């Protein structure tokens, strides 16, 4: 039976306010307060409801910016009704995780029913963790990665020179380098861009005032030449006056909206916990403070009965126990650093975080070795280059980590690090699509972009074969034991080493006798492993989170009498000549991977097979479609669950 949304959003008051009249009347103030309270209640409820179901999400950011959104929406209504201050009717936001705002606006504008919000981040419900234009009804722009929208909005302003363009910002997203470039262009071109910056002094891993001493978003923007005004954003009259002043001014303007994170939410206000989804208890505590406000009691009841989403099934050939490699990275690194003589640690190792330490395992290193840890903020390009600079000399290792999707932001810096012969151990977590409710903009699927080095002079030329030979290596282990062995083995290697992990937890790969295949096994760079070694009818090549699914497909094929092997190619960009000879003799080869089908291993592996003398049938499958939302089902949507992999192999068999 369909559930009824507990709040009546038809009570939202679609008021039109003239920005040339910056003083609120009592009735206007009451209307805005009503809308703010309603929208904050709704955001707390439906984001926490998703969290209670196991879908995670983000509550504090969209909750914070409700007053600005409500005011801008009222100014847009005035413009729509023929008022004299034209405004582009899109509330742009450079912090894509605040997507709850866009979904709420979609409902308020009639693009989808309120009940749809009960399916935030759910599989196939088209409400992913970041806004995607053309995917969700009513969503007018894609705004996934922090700090990427302001340059885009500059272009929108150029296309609509007679209209103001509003963009929500944050003190986190403003740390990205794109925003500095966007600021200079906006000022130089006098673009009519209006920034409303939520300056709540909270990002994922901490407080910018603590970890980024000297950074002040208002002073930074003023330094680029923008007119900047600062306001206490929970003072509705003061906020309204400043937004009106921005709307009616010529050229770019920034309003710095000061507030604590999640004001008025018990136990969350002012803390980093507000960045993520509010816990069920926190949401209930907030809704209880709202007393008899319409819908709150029903919302509390629904939160207590939120149905969990289905958990990922166990697959044949792998263990029931699972572990997160992304967290394991920190544990392994602590072991490695403990093995370095204490007087030498600070001169040989430096660890650079991009405000994701709790998600990439670096928090463990931070706790154990705070003097080796650099809280670099949301500055991937600069942090990577700093790690490379630290690792420029022999005997030094820069360690860098962020999400795999953001590897695409660092390509030029990677090239310069390579040319400087730097030593950097990179951990890129959240690879592929498994468990990625954040959806397409956060898919880490273009790993081979990092493999852009020139191979180096071959031995049969006049140049030294060792002269600037490319030492870039890409590793994507298939289970926790192999991951641990990999990190320990490659830590002391020279050059750029990229170790990838998933957001999802992985099981241990099992040998045919049921033992853990990689237990006690050393890791040797450049070596591929035959997990199942009878290639008579063909073989599947895989790695990462696809490996245990491919193993389940192999077990199903073997159960049907097919002699199909499985190779784990954790060393993505090197060739194991001995294994290639075995693969070349197989009648058919299928590469199954979570990387981009256009740029991943499979796009080049066929050529590698041909060079080895392969004459059989070949195909490769990978991520080929924009995301579907949800968690582990993302893999099945791409045809990368055991059933999909088995189907692709049977197709290869003809």
Mind listing the pLDDT tens digit for each residue in 258-306? 999 999 999 999 999 999 999 999 999 999 999 888 999 999 999 999 9
pLDDT at 90 over 80: yes
- pLDDT digits over 234-250, tens only? 999 999 999 999 999 99
Kindly report the average pLDDT of the chain as a whole number: 96
The pTM of the full predicted model, rounded to 2 decimals, is 0.96
Q: For residue 436, is pLDDT > 90?
A: yes
For residue 340, tell me if it sits in a domain.
yes
Residue 12 lies in a domain: no
Q: Is residue 312 part of a domain?
A: no
What pLDDT, on a 0 to 100 scale, did the predictor assign at position 218?
Answer: 97
Positive or negative, the CA dihedral 90, 95, 260, 104 is positive
Tell me: do 292 and 372 sit in the same domain: no
Residue 285 shares a structural domain with residue 352: no
Helices (H), 224-279: 236-248
- For the cut 70, the answer to whether the pLDDT of residue 458 exceeds it is no
Q: Which domain does 252 fall in, by range?
A: 25-305
The CA–CA distances, whole Å, from 197 to 105, 218, 256, 277, 358 equal 19, 9, 5, 21, 25
Q: Among 271, 305, 339, which residue terminates a domain?
A: 305
592 neighbors 618 (Cβ within 8 angstroms): no
Residue 120 pLDDT class (50, 70, 90 cuts): very high
| Integer Cα distance of 356 and 359 in angstroms | 5
Last-in-domain residue among 274, 305, 336: 305
Question: For residue 1, what pLDDT band results from cuts at 50, 70 and 90?
Answer: very low
Q: Are residues 266 and 325 in the same domain?
A: no
Q: What is the pLDDT of residue 84?
A: 87
Same domain, residue pair 243 and 370: no
Do 334 and 247 share a domain, yes or no? no
**Residue 515: is its pLDDT beyond 80?**
yes
Let me know: does 212 contact 377? Beta carbons within 8 Å. Answer: yes
Q: Clarify whether residues 335 and 477 are in a common domain.
A: yes
Quote the number of domains for the chain: 2
Task: State the burial class of residue 125 (Cβ atoms within 10 Å of its Cβ: 0-12, 13-18, 19+).
Answer: middle
| Cα 159-171-446 angle, rounded to 5 deg | 70
CATH number, domain with residue 107: 3.40.50.970
- For residues 616 and 519, membership in a common domain is answered with yes
């Amino acid at each position: 039976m369909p559930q009824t949304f507990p709040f009546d959003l038809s009570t939202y008051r679609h008021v039109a306010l003239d920005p040339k009249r910056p003083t609120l009347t009592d009735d206007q103030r009451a209307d805005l307060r009503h809308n703010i309270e309603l929208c904050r209640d709704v955001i707390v409820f439906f984001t926490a409801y998703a969290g209670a179901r196991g879908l995670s999400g983000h509550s504090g950011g969209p909750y914070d910016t409700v007053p600005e959104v409500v005011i801008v929406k009222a100014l847009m209504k005035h413009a729509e009704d023929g008022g004299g201050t034209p405004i582009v009717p899109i509330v742009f936001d450079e912090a894509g995780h605040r997507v709850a705002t866009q979904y709420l606006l979609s409902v308020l504008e009639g693009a989808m029913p309120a009940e749809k919000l009960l399916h935030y981040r759910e599989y196939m419900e088209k409400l992913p963790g970041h806004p995607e234009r053309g995917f969700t009804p009513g969503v007018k722009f894609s705004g996934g990665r922090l700090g990427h929208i302001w340059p885009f909005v500059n272009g929108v302003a150029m296309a609509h020179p007679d209209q103001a363009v509003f963009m929500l910002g944050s003190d986190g997203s403003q740390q990205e380098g794109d925003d500095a470039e966007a600021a200079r262009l906006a000022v130089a071109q006098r673009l009519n861009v209006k920034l409303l910056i939520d300056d709540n002094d909270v990002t994922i891993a901490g407080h910018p005032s603590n970890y980024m001493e000297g950074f002040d978003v208002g002073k930074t923007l003023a330094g680029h030449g923008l007119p900047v005004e600062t306001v206490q954003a929970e003072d509705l009259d003061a906020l309204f006056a400043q937004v009106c002043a921005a709307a009616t001014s010529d050229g770019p303007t920034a309003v710095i909206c000061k507030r604590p994170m999640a004001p008025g939410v018990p136990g969350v206000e002012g803390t980093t916990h507000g960045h993520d989804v509010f816990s069920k208890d926190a949401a209930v505590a907030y809704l209880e403070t709202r007393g008899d406000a319409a819908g709150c009691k029903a919302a509390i009841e629904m939160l207590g009965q939120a149905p969990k989403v289905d958990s990922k099934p166990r697959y044949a050939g792998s263990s029931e126990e699972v572990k997160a490699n992304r967290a394991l990275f920190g544990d392994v690194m602590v072991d490695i650093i403990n093995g370095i003589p204490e007087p030498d640690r600070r001169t040989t190792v430096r660890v650079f975080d991009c405000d994701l330490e709790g998600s990439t395992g670096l928090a463990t290193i931070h706790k154990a070795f705070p003097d080796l840890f650099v809280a670099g903020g949301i500055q991937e390009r600069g942090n990577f280059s700093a790690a490379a600079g630290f690792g420029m000399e022999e005997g030094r290792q820069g360690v860098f980590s962020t999400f795999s999707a953001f590897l695409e932001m660092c390509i030029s810096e990677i090239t310069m690090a390579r040319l400087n012969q730097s030593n950097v151990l990179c951990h890129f977590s959240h690879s592929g699509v498994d468990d990625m409710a954040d959806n397409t903009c956060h898919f880490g699927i273009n790993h081979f972009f990092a493999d852009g080095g020139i191979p180096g002079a071959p031995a049969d030329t006049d140049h030294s074969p060792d002269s600037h030979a490319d030492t870039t290596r890409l590793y994507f282990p298939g289970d926790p034991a192999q991951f641990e062995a990999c990190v320990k083995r490659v830590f002391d290697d020279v050059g750029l080493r990229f170790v990838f992990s998933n957001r999802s937890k992985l099981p241990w790969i099992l040998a045919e006798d049921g033992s853990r295949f990689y237990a006690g096994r050393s890791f040797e760079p450049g070596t591929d492993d035959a997990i199942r070694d009878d290639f008579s009818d063909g073989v599947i090549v895989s790695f990462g989170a696809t490996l245990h699914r491919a193993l389940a497909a192999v077990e199903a094929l073997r159960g049907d009498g097919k002699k199909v092997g499985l190779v784990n190619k954790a060393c993505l960009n090197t060739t194991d000549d001995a294994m290639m000879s075995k693969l070349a003799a197989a009648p058919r080869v299928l590469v199954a991977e979570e990387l981009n089908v256009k740029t991943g291993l499979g796009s080049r592996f066929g050529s590698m097979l041909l060079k080895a003398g392969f004459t059989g049938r070949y195909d490769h499958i990978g991520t080929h479609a924009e995301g579907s939302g949800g968690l582990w089902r993302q893999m099945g949507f791409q045809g990368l669950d055991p059933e999909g992999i088995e189907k692709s192999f049977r197709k290869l068999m003809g």
